[in-house]
Structure 1
């Protein structure tokens, strides 16, 4: 291994740093998965009607709002959609290749409502780890997709954003990934539970005669026309505040992220999630150990007398 000892310091430490970074990332993933499994295992699912304030694993059935996913138009209470486009670019050697480049990523902006026959709770999915009940991953030549009824998967999760592909010049131009949570399906939410006062979201009883009916919209800079929001790449408009207020007025409880704790939303039973996290932790520990051992071996080979 004399060549390893004679490598320029910059080259050696760059390579060693990459191995060390992989070790640290794997060990962090192990810690993160073990923490999730521990917190989930310590919680007993509680009906929404039996909740109290604090960290809880609430469960019920999804009740609203009734939405339509943007790519497939499937009915749901929550959706997340991504669109990737195949583009041709040159690598460092000047050779061309096709890679996937993300051109759109959105999720529904309304609170998800779930509960039982007596009480409902609201939760915002933004910032949470969401395990959806259904998902589709398909490809096509147009955007929006011409195929609005792709195969539907009810287990697992879609693959990550794979940049490189072997489809070549004549392969599909777009890749679509859509995840949804269906209507009236079992739903679990792990987070900080606080009481939500529905009265805070009720419209005022008294009308203000001096109120501007177009308040909330800006002008166009002098033409006299009112500015209104443009649709997103997926054809979605921001949800008006009064619609969100109507959603929240139906909920007695709100579930939000707890400081230093996992924030998890899932249609799978917590036992299955905990087992999956433990399995991931074991895999991360093995990979982290291998990378850490490799980093130590490289140091020993370079500096051992």
Structure 2
């Protein structure tokens, strides 16, 4: 214990801070896992066509809307993608010498913004895509490549789990002439495929169809159609007039939104708003996050994957208690020991 008295206070503070950080991570993992397992405990899945308002575990079939994933272009009803790029980073070490390191830098982290339609019988429930505490997808793909978008559109898939591994066997790289050679990008894509079983734990509300009704625009003024009462030329009117929106345009717009180029993040648009309203008009129920409670979307019944959060919770408590005890011992040895 004498070395704890002798080490510089800066070194001691760093070691103590590291122990406290690891303890906090362990306790955080344990609490997060306990919230999930506690929320699921004793719950019986309720079919979508038997829902009532409240916090429920609903189940049905994922029926739409039909999307395509951005990287592999797989048919899906929900997707999540992450893209990293390898970069050369220059840092100064403790001796003021400059060292070069190669790090992964995240370039994209994005999810689909369309609701997932969960169906049972003739009843539809719109599952909100934001605020999810945990997602158990159908498939996970994690691979590397040299280009963006990836040249390999058909990498091997792994079944989705409650805690999908984020580690990947790095195929290596070389620095030649100050430039990186080898795999430059890492891609990760998770999807829920159509017709998957869907179990959703969240707050259920009845959809107010009047809220999502199509707005009826008043008929245009005949004088405007005739070109009267306006000082704008016919050519300017023609330039300003929006192009007609037909089914071919609609299909192209769907593909453009759902298979956008990596690095381009989806955002609000009138077209996205219009399609969101169209989705909601098909639903009788809506399910989404409830403040203070887990919001879970899974393609498997909870009994098939809840063991992983339970195991993670136990491990978190062990890690948290161990490093908290270590931190307490360090404080006692430094300041309290005779």
- TM class, shorter-length: 0.7 to 0.9
Q: State the 1:161 CA deviation.
A: 7.8
Matched, 1:146 2:178: no
More off after superposition, 166-175 vs 147-156? 166-175
2:235 aligned partner: none
Aligned counterpart in structure 1 of residue 292 of structure 2, from 236, 253, 260: 260
Write out per-residue CA displacement over residues 80-108 of structure 1, whole angstroms, 9 at most, x where no aligned residue: 11111110112333221211101112111
**Equivalents in 1 of 2:305, 2:164: separation in Å?**
16
**Which entry has the higher C-alpha Rg, 1 or 2?**
2
More off after superposition, 129-138 vs 9-18? 9-18
Structure 2 unmatched runs, 5+:
176-180, 225-238, 242-255
1:92-131 pair list within 5 angstroms: 92-93=92-93, 94-128=98-132, 129-131=134-136
The 8 Å contact of residues 87 and 99 in structure 1, kept in 2 or not, is answered as yes
Matched, 1:204 2:215: yes
Matched, 1:181 2:192: yes
Q: State the 1:296 CA deviation.
A: 1.8
Aligned counterpart in structure 1 of residue 311 of structure 2, from 257, 279, 283: 279
**Equivalents in 2 of 1:144, 1:295: separation in Å?**
47
**Equivalents in 2 of 1:256, 1:236: separation in Å?**
22
**What do you get for the CA RMSD once the two structures are aligned?**
2.6
Q: Secondary structure at the match of 1:95?
A: strand
Aligned length: 291
More off after superposition, 70-79 vs 295-304? 295-304
**Equivalents in 2 of 1:6, 1:237: separation in Å?**
55
More off after superposition, 177-186 vs 111-120? 111-120
**1:5/1:147 Cα in 2 relative to 1: closer, same or farther (>3 Å)?**
same
2:182 aligned partner: 171
Write out per-residue CA displacement over residues 41-73 of structure 1, whole angstroms, 9 at most, x where no aligned residue: 132100001000000001101010000001000
2:74 aligned partner: 74
Q: State the 1:25 CA deviation.
A: 2.0
2:178 aligned partner: none
The 8 Å contact of residues 135 and 152 in structure 1, kept in 2 or not, is answered as yes
Structure 1 unmatched runs, 5+:
213-223
Q: State the 1:77 CA deviation.
A: 0.2
The 8 Å contact of residues 123 and 254 in structure 1, kept in 2 or not, is answered as yes
Q: State the 1:138 CA deviation.
A: 0.7
The 8 Å contact of residues 99 and 165 in structure 1, kept in 2 or not, is answered as no
**Equivalents in 1 of 2:81, 2:192: separation in Å?**
12
**Equivalents in 2 of 1:272, 1:53: separation in Å?**
26
Q: Secondary structure at the match of 1:145?
A: coil
2:30 aligned partner: 30
**Equivalents in 2 of 1:116, 1:279: separation in Å?**
32
**Equivalents in 2 of 1:52, 1:265: separation in Å?**
18
Q: State the 1:242 CA deviation.
A: 1.4
More off after superposition, 235-244 vs 263-272? 235-244
TM norm structure 1: 0.87
**1:15/1:199 Cα in 2 relative to 1: closer, same or farther (>3 Å)?**
same
1:14 aligned partner: 14
The 8 Å contact of residues 48 and 59 in structure 1, kept in 2 or not, is answered as yes
**Equivalents in 1 of 2:219, 2:131: separation in Å?**
37
**1:158/1:270 Cα in 2 relative to 1: closer, same or farther (>3 Å)?**
closer
